Amino acid sequence: MTAGPAFPAARLAAWLSARIAGRPPVALRDVTEPAQGFSSRTVLLTAAWIEDGVERERPLVARLQRDVAVPMLADVFHQYRVMRAIAAHSSVKVPVVEFKEEDAAVLGAPFFLMDRIDGRVPPDFPSYHAQGWFAEELDAAGRERHWWNGVREMHRLHAIDWQAFPFLAEGADTVPDAVFYLTRFVDHWYDWASAGRSFPIVEDALRFLMANPPPCRRSGLVWNDARLGNTMFRRDGEVASLFDFEVASLGPPEVDLAHWMYLDDVFSLNFGVERIDGIPDEAAAIAGFERIYGWPMPYFSYYLAVAAVKILILSIRSYGNDKAMPTPDALPDFLVGRVRRYVDRYAAYLRG
């Protein structure tokens, strides 16, 4: 779809002209606005100008602030700061983020611009387990290769020390562990989502998890939306970019690993779709995580319980803003069952 007349492309072109070396007149082409997205408004465009007699082009993505219902999605510059910090402290593949504007007068809202990257993303809807290039063009070995390449790129992300993100660590005087993560992120999300209502399955699980954390072997950035659908791949199967850091926080890397693994079930079994060949099963996934990260994870059911609680919380209140995402009349049986399964499994692990 095109970004309609409400998008002030001419003003953005003039603003960008003043920020490119030599201040050349910039023209914007192919301005489109995808329909997806829950937080910031996203506009795709190509900036073009003449430099030393040669036409230059720069494909860009504009992320604009907008009013949102969810407090933790309210700051468009949160992901700007996260991606800038990732790029400053690592070679992790994330988009180059060079321009930002806090004055709403330019486009009607604060915004930032990042480079648009070529690649393809496994689709969420319809699920990559059933349709699309991931299901239809790759064989099982190719899917497994893509999956593990995503994990390896996450490993590089998680190698960045948590102190590289001081804006996420306010008030932290010790290494951000699982309890820090649950208190500073998951509990706040639940407070908003529950809107004063009580959901004992969530509350009991959170109390148990906060009281019984496993050892924290490493702490760093928690992507918080780690999944194939937020990973862009090149045609050769290598990762082109990780993206969507709107709600990144701090904590152990296992938080993201469990979310990455659990979302495979959410986008297959939860939707009544058979899991596709090539996605590692639980035992193979955990063994691979241990190999890549370099430490044993006998307590991994704890982090699967954390992932299951987070996804269950997402189901209790609509967070789609002006997007269609109705709240179910009752908590989904699959999601409730997974919370119970993983909490019970971790409790059994603690009992020995």
Task: Check whether 346 has a pLDDT greater than 80.
Answer: yes
Model confidence over 246-292: pLDDT tens digits? 999 999 999 999 999 999 999 999 999 999 999 999 999 999 999 99
Angle at 314 between CA 244 and CA 215, to 5 degrees: 75
Average pLDDT of every residue of the chain: 92
pLDDT-based confidence at 40, cuts 50/70/90? confident
pLDDT-based confidence at 2, cuts 50/70/90? low
At 67 the pLDDT is 80
At 342 the pLDDT is 98
Instruction: Please give the model's pTM, rounded to 2 decimal places.
Output: 0.93
DSSP 214: P
Across 193-235, the runs of DSSP E, i.e. the strands, are: 220-222, 231-233
CA torsion, ordered 149, 155, 156, 161, to nearest 10 deg: 170
Which pairing describes strands 111-115 and 97-101: parallel, antiparallel, or unpaired? antiparallel
At 21 the pLDDT is 87
At 5 the pLDDT is 47
**Token pair for 164:** 């590289």
Q: Which residues contact 233 (CB under 8 A, 6 or more apart)?
A: 119, 120, 121, 122, 146, 149, 150, 239, 240
**Token pair for 321:** 């803003």
Task: Check whether 323 has a pLDDT greater than 90.
Answer: no
Task: Check whether 37 has a pLDDT greater than 60.
Answer: no
